């Protein structure tokens, strides 16, 4: 099947209003990802969703080509009843699968630092544009052929009217949500993005989420009332960094500048993982 000048190679997933496909340009042979947004479905589910789709496109247009840590929007086109977003293809999959396929079930601190420093640089850029992502999770962090991290999926992203604008909509994956999203009617989107980055970092070096539960209510309760436990193989510096990012008090939570200046981030290398480090078996 061919869409415009792109040949569909593989279906990557379907959602209520969208279809995601791997495609190849018919002339250049370059692989891309097509996000097909069904306009009739958008019309059926209301103006709010229509506005969200328009905002996603506008945000991607604003960010694309200005930072190497973002999956760039190549072009958009209208085909019959759909709007097509053509974005970069990351050949090495997503960060969640990267972690899950590691022998121990998690990354070394050196590997995690490589991805995390790139993530923080990208989030700093996004926030500098007064944009908040609001759905930062390992599945939305892709890895390209050069082993670099790319932030993707701006479907929940919002352009703020000013840098301190408060958010009200509760969105994102439960495991990554900051406590103020559960506790408050409004929240600072930049602070909650930073919290989500802390969850990503914790997962990279443990293979587990810092707060787990049997349902949304249980997860929210643990996020709001407990502190994460740290396996013995995690260095003291990294524990300090994660605790600073996952601070209950949003006013005490590390900001981007605190993270970039942290001693763990500035380390150039670490000794290999202890040979006694256990293999974590899948709980899924």
**Rounded Cα distance, 153 and 11, in Å:** 17
**Rounded Cα distance, 235 and 239, in Å:** 6
Clarify whether 135 is annotated catalytic: yes
Candidate from 57-61, 125-129, 241-245, 265-269 with smallest mean pLDDT: 265-269
pLDDT at position 278: 43
pLDDT band at 283 (very low <50, low <70, confident <90, very high): very low
**Rounded Cα distance, 209 and 219, in Å:** 10
What are the residue ranges spanned by the domains of the chain?
Answer: 2-88, 93-261
Residue 30 φ then ψ, to 5°: -70, 135
Rounded percentage of the chain residues whose pLDDT exceeds 90 = 73
Please give the mean pLDDT across all residues of the chain: 89
pLDDT band at 40 (very low <50, low <70, confident <90, very high): low
CATH code for residues 93-261 = 1.10.510.10
pLDDT band at 54 (very low <50, low <70, confident <90, very high): confident
Tokens of 111: 């590997």
pLDDT band at 132 (very low <50, low <70, confident <90, very high): very high
Q: Do 2-88 and 93-261 come out as alike in CATH topology? A: no
CATH code for residues 2-88 = 3.30.200.20
Helix (H, G, I), strand (E, B) or coil at 20: strand
Residue corresponding to tokens 């301190």: 164
Q: What is the pLDDT of residues 95-108, one digit of tens each?
A: 999 999 999 999 99
pLDDT band at 47 (very low <50, low <70, confident <90, very high): low
CA 243 to each of CA 2, 85, 134: distance values in angstroms, whole numbers, following the listed order? 49, 38, 20
The residue from 135, 193, 218, 258 that is catalytic is 135
Rounded percentage of the chain residues whose pLDDT exceeds 70 = 90
CB distance 20 to 12 below 8 Å = yes
CB distance 33 to 20 below 8 Å = yes
Mean pLDDT of 181-188: 88
């Amino acid at each position: 099947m061919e869409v415009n000048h792109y040949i569909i190679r593989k279906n990557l997933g379907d959602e209520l209003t969208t279809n995601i496909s791997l495609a190849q340009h018919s002339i250049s042979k370059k692989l891309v990802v097509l996000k097909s947004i069904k306009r009739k479905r958008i019309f059926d589910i209301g103006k709010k969703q229509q506005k969200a789709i328009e905002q996603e496109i506008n945000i991607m247009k604003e960010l694309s080509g200005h930072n190497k840590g973002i999956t760039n929007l190549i072009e958009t086109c209208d085909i019959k009843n759909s709007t097509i977003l053509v974005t970069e293809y990351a050949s090495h999959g997503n960060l969640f699968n990267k972690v899950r396929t590691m022998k121990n079930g998690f990354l070394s601190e050196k590997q995690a630092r490589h991805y995390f420093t790139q993530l923080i640089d990208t989030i700093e850029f996004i926030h500098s544009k007064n944009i908040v992502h609001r759905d930062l999770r390992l599945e939305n962090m892709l890895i390209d052929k050069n082993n670099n991290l790319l932030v993707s999926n701006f479907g929940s992203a919002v352009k703020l009217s000013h840098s301190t604008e408060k958010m009200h909509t509760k969105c994102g994956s439960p495991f990554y949500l900051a406590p103020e999203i559960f506790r408050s009617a409004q929240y600072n989107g930049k602070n909650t993005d930073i919290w989500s980055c802390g969850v990503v970092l914790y997962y990279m070096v443990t293979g587990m989420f810092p707060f787990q539960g049997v349902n949304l209510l249980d997860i929210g309760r643990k996020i709001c009332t407990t502190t994460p436990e740290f396996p013995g193989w995690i260095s003291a510096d990294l524990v300090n960094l994660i605790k600073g990012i996952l601070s209950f008090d949003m006013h005490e939570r590390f900001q981007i500048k605190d993270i970039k200046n942290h001693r763990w981030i500035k380390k150039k290398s670490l000794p290999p993982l202890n040979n006694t480090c256990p293999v974590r078996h899948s709980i899924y």
